[in-house]
Amino acid sequence: MIAREWKCLVPEDLREEFTTYLYETGVKDSSATLGFLGAQIFRRSLADKVELTLITYWDNLESIKAFAGNDISQAWLYPEDEVYELEADLSVQHYEAIEHQFSPEPRR
């Protein structure tokens, strides 16, 4: 399994709107691609900005190419991104996921 990581910054006051937008664009478009296995969005507050990290999971690099094109190191951006004053990483990172265990129930 391959994890694809992309990060961006948005103003604090646009955090909720951009998170919804990210789901409606990047996550939905990814999930329509054969080989997509799942996604997570992480968010953390910094001074007056919010950093968001989108990690999508794929069965192999060929599946990522079907979504992102031949240069999978390039970020997939949308024309409407500028509405959110987005400071986007223009490249993405890929990792081989060697452990991916989640507990079905919370441990106490």
Mean pLDDT of 66-75: 95
pLDDT tens-digit readout, 14-25 = 999 999 999 999
Q: Give the confidence band of 76 by pLDDT, cuts at 50, 70, 90.
A: confident
In three-state secondary structure terms, 52 is strand
Q: What is the per-residue pLDDT for 23? A: 92
End-to-end Cα separation, the chain, in angstroms: 29
Report the predicted TM-score, pTM, of the whole model to 2 decimal places.
0.88
Q: Tell me: the pLDDT tens digits for 54-66?
A: 999 999 999 999 9
Average pLDDT over residues 28-37: 95
pLDDT at 69 (0 to 100): 93
Top CATH class of 2-96 equals alpha beta
Alpha carbon distance 60, 2 (integer Å): 6
To the nearest whole number, what is the mean pLDDT of the chain?
92
Q: Where are the domains of the chain?
A: 2-96
Q: What is the pLDDT of residue 104?
A: 73
Question: Token pair of 79, please?
Answer: 């024309």
